[in-house]
Amino acid sequence: MAPETVVRLRTRSRAATVAVGAALAASLRDGDAVAMDGDLGAGKTAMTEGIARGLAVRGAVSSPTFTLLIDHAAGPRGLALHHFDAYRLADADEFRHLGFDEVLSSGGVTVVEWASRVQGALPAGAVRVELDRRDAEGEDVRFLAVAFPEGREESAAALARAAAGIPDAAPADAEETGGTPRC
């Protein structure tokens, strides 16, 4: 695997997780895939809501667990959002069979929740996001590790700068975020 740049963050509210997603969207390009992983309730859909907000796409974001894919038409930024949920899929072959490659090649930004389930179908240059929700002394805290592929160091720096201005968001270290995203 090529070297990557990882931004590690801690959020203390759903609103902060959404805001980090919006900040991430500022660095996304036409054709990008975002591979997200984390347990139930970790904040994958909240992050995707933020990406949708940052892309200014049309339509409300909800988890596509039962529909597998929700497409959001492009807004003023000109990028559509294709939101997959791979939770119910058996493997990468099933994901490809359902048309993932066609959706990815259609342009816009593609977000895949539960990406580790279909890892073999994901492009090597995907932005990878790992979310971990923990209850820290009665406080609902999420740890995020966002890995940008080689050549996207400026995108990582831009996300880190933007996150510094988000209330309830702060840098985290590798120990807190569990290392490199697995998806």
pLDDT for 45 equals: 92
Work out the angle at residue 133's Cα, subtended by the Cα atoms of residues 159 and 108, and round it to the nearest 5 degrees. Answer: 45
Reported confidence tier of residue 3, pLDDT bands at 50, 70, 90: confident
Determine the average pLDDT of the residues in 88-113: 92
| Angle of helix 14-25 versus helix 153-164 axis, rounded to 10 | 140
The first and second tokens of residue 72, run together, are: 């959001």
Q: Is the pLDDT of residue 145 over 80?
A: yes
pLDDT for 87 equals: 92
Reported confidence tier of residue 68, pLDDT bands at 50, 70, 90: confident
Terminal alpha carbon distance of the chain:
12
In CATH terms, is domain 4-177 a member of 3.40.50.300? yes
Q: In this structure, how many other beta carbons lie within 10 angstroms of the beta carbon of residue 180? A: 15
Percent of the chain topping pLDDT 90: 71
Reported confidence tier of residue 182, pLDDT bands at 50, 70, 90: low
